Amino acid sequence: NKIANQILIIFGASGDLTYRKLIPAIFDLYKQNSLPEKFSVLGVSRTPFTDDSFREKMKEGILKFSGLKPENEDELNKFCNILHYLPINTAESKDYSQLTLRLDEIDKNENTQGNYIFYLSTPPSLYGVIPKYLAAEGLNIENNCFRRIIIEKPFGTDLKSAIELNSILKEDYKEEQIYRIDHYLGKETVQNLLVTRFANGIYEPLWNRNYIHHVEITAAESIGIENRGGYYDHSGALRDMVQNHLMQLLALVAMEPPMSIDATSIRNEKLKVFQALRPMKDDDLFKNVVRGQYLPSNTNGNYYKGYREEKDVAKDSRTETYVALKLFIDNWRWADVPFYIRTGKRLPTRVSEIVIHFRPAPQNLFPGQEIHKNNDNQLILRIQPDEGVSFQTKMKIPGSGYRVKNVNMDFHYSQLHNVYLPDAYERLLLDCMMGDPTLYIDSGALEATWKFVQPLLDFWKNNTEAPLYGYPAGSWGPENADRLIEGENKSFRYPC
Ligand code: BG6
C-alpha cells in the first residue's frame, strides 16, 4: 500500500509518551520501510528545544525503547533528520500562526501536500482547546488533502465530559477525522481475538451461553502508579483501565461476527455489545463490584509504599487502585453468563488475559475425579506477556482405572521464529496514516462505555460508606473480591 506523504504533528512532544512510545514506534516503522516516501514529524510543546536538541533527546528514547534497534549511528542520524521541533504555548491562540508558518515550510520542502495528522499527547485539559485553535487557523480543512486528529485517553472523565468533548470536536471536525486511541486495540494479541474467533470454524458453535459458563478478563499490573499520582488520584482503576481497555476486550470477546473486517461493521457490532450491558442498579453496585486500594507491605524482602504514601496522592484518598466487576450482557448469545472483569496495580505479576470457561461435561462418568469443579475446560487468550493461546483439556493419566488430569495445549508467539511483535503504537500510528480507523474508538462506543460505568462513579462519589478495601501491595487484591465469583464451584484464575 502506498501511503500518502504527510506530516505528523505531536503536541506534548517533550512528554513521556513521545519519548518512550511514539518516536520509537515511528523509528520501528522506518526500519521496516513502512513510512510514506516523504514523511516528517513536528514536535510541539512549551519546552524550549531546538530541532537539534529535540533530536538528541529522541535518539536516547529510540535506543532505549525501540523494538528494532538502529544498526549504527548513521542510520539513527538519518532517521532523526525527519524530526523537527517548534516551541510554542499550545494554550495560547496567538502562538498558532507560528505553527501554520512552520507547517507551510516543511510541507513545501517535503512535498507532503498538506496532509497532516495532529497527535494530542497533552494534559486532557487541552483536548478541547488545541483542536479549536487549529481550526481557527484553518488546519482542520481538508482541501485535496487530509487533516486527522488523534486523541489520547482519557477522553473525558465521565459521561457528561465525554459528550461535551465530542460535541466540541464535532463543531470543527467530521467523525472520520477524529481518531480516539486505545492502545490495547493496537496489541497484536488483541487483534488476534478476531482471528481466533472468526477464522476458525470450531469456536463459533460453542461461543455462547449454551457452552460457556463464564468469562474472566484480567489486567493485572505489578507496578504501582509510578510518578502519575497527580493524574491517577483523580482517575482510579475504573476510569484508567475499565472504561476503555477492558471494555474493548469485552466487546471483542462478546460481539457478533461482523459483516466484514472493516471499521463500520466492527464498530457496529461492538456498539451492540455495549448497548446490551445490563445497567448497574443500586443493588449491583454493592453486590457485583469490589474496589480496593494498595496498602504498604513488605514482600520478598522489599518494602512497597502504600497508595496513600505515593507522590501527589491525597493522604486520605479513596481512589481505587483495584476493581473487580461482575457484569452481564443481556442479549440472545450471552443471557445470564457472568463476565468477571478485574484490574489492579501492585498485584503480584503483570498479566493480561481472557479466560473462556466452558461448561463441564453433562455427567461425571469418572467418579472421584473432580471434573465438575473449577478445573473446567478453559480457553486462555494471553494478551501479555508470553503472548499466546492455551487450551485446557482433560486427559487420562496412563495406568489402571480412569484418573483424569488437566493438560494444556499451548501456543506461544515466541515459538514463531523471526516474527517481530510490533508495539501497539506502531500499528495504530500506521493505521491512522493510512486512514483506517478500525482500531480506534468511535463516539458511539465511547459514550456507551461511559454510560455503563457512570452509575458506579456516582455511587462512589456520593456514598462515603461505599466499601473500599485495603490490600497489601504485591497481593492479588482484596480477598473480598473472591466472593463475586465464589459459590458456583469456581474461583478466579491466578496466573503466575
Ligand atoms: C494505560 C494506563 O492506559 O495503560 C496505565 O493509563 C496502565 O495506568 C497502562 O499502566 C497499561 O498498559 P499496558 O500496555 O502496559 O498493559
- Predicted confidence at residue 8, as pLDDT, reads 98
Cα gap 440→423, rounded to integer Å: 15
Do you know the residue count of the chain?
Answer: 496
Pocket test for ligand 1, best of 121, 180, 221, 323 (most atoms within 8 A of CB): 221
- Predicted confidence at residue 374, as pLDDT, reads 52
- Predicted confidence at residue 254, as pLDDT, reads 98
| Residue 183 annotated as part of some ligand binding site | yes
The 10s digit of each residue's pLDDT in 333-343 is: 999 999 999 99
Q: Quick one: average pLDDT of 61-72?
A: 93
The 10s digit of each residue's pLDDT in 267-321 is: 999 999 999 999 999 888 989 999 999 999 998 788 999 999 999 999 999 999 9
The 10s digit of each residue's pLDDT in 163-214 is: 999 999 999 999 999 999 999 999 988 999 999 999 999 999 999 999 999 9
Among the listed residues 49, 120, 56, the one whose alpha carbon sits nearest the alpha carbon of residue 90: 120
Using pLDDT thresholds of 50, 70 and 90, give the confidence band for residue 493: confident
Helices (H), 416-488: 424-434, 443-462, 482-485
Pocket test for ligand 1, best of 182, 233, 239, 241 (most atoms within 8 A of CB): 241
Point out which residues pair with 476 in neighbouring strands.
none
Under a CB-based contact definition with an 8 Å cutoff, are residues 228 and 311 in contact?
no
| Residue 153 annotated as part of some ligand binding site | yes
Q: What is the number of other CB atoms lying within 10 angstroms of the CB of residue 15?
A: 18
- Predicted confidence at residue 363, as pLDDT, reads 84
Radius of gyration of the chain (CA): 24
84 is catalytic: no
CA 241–ligand 1 middle distance (angstroms): 7
- For ligand 1, whether the C-beta of 182 sits within 6 Å is no
- Predicted confidence at residue 488, as pLDDT, reads 61
Atom of ligand 1 nearest to the CA of 221: 10
Q: Which candidate in 84, 213, 214, 245 is catalytic?
A: 245
Atom of ligand 1 nearest to the CA of 384: 16
The 10s digit of each residue's pLDDT in 149-166 is: 999 999 999 999 999 999
Report DSSP state, residue 248.
H
Under a CB-based contact definition with an 8 Å cutoff, are residues 473 and 296 in contact?
yes
| Torsion angles phi and psi, residue 314, rounded to 5 | -65, 140
DSSP SS3 for 109: helix
Report DSSP state, residue 300.
T
What's the grid cell of residue 213?
459458563
Report DSSP state, residue 463.
-
Which residue, by CA, sits nearest to atom 15 of ligand 1? Answer: 221
The 10s digit of each residue's pLDDT in 230-244 is: 999 999 999 999 999
Q: How many CA atoms lie within 13 A of 193 on its CB side?
A: 28
In angstroms, the Cα distances linking 30 to 17, 59, 139, 149 are 18, 14, 26, 21
Q: What is the number of other CB atoms lying within 10 angstroms of the CB of residue 368?
A: 10
Cα gap 382→101, rounded to integer Å: 47
ipTM greater than 0.95: yes
The 10s digit of each residue's pLDDT in 75-84 is: 999 999 999 9
- Predicted confidence at residue 285, as pLDDT, reads 92
- For ligand 1, whether the C-beta of 221 sits within 6 Å is yes
H or E segment to which residue 358 belongs: strand 351-358
- For ligand 1, whether the C-beta of 240 sits within 6 Å is yes
Residues in contact with 356: Cβ distance below 8 Å, sequence separation at least 6, in sequence order: 207, 212, 215, 253, 378, 379, 380, 381
| Residue 486 annotated as part of some ligand binding site | no
| Residue 308 annotated as part of some ligand binding site | no
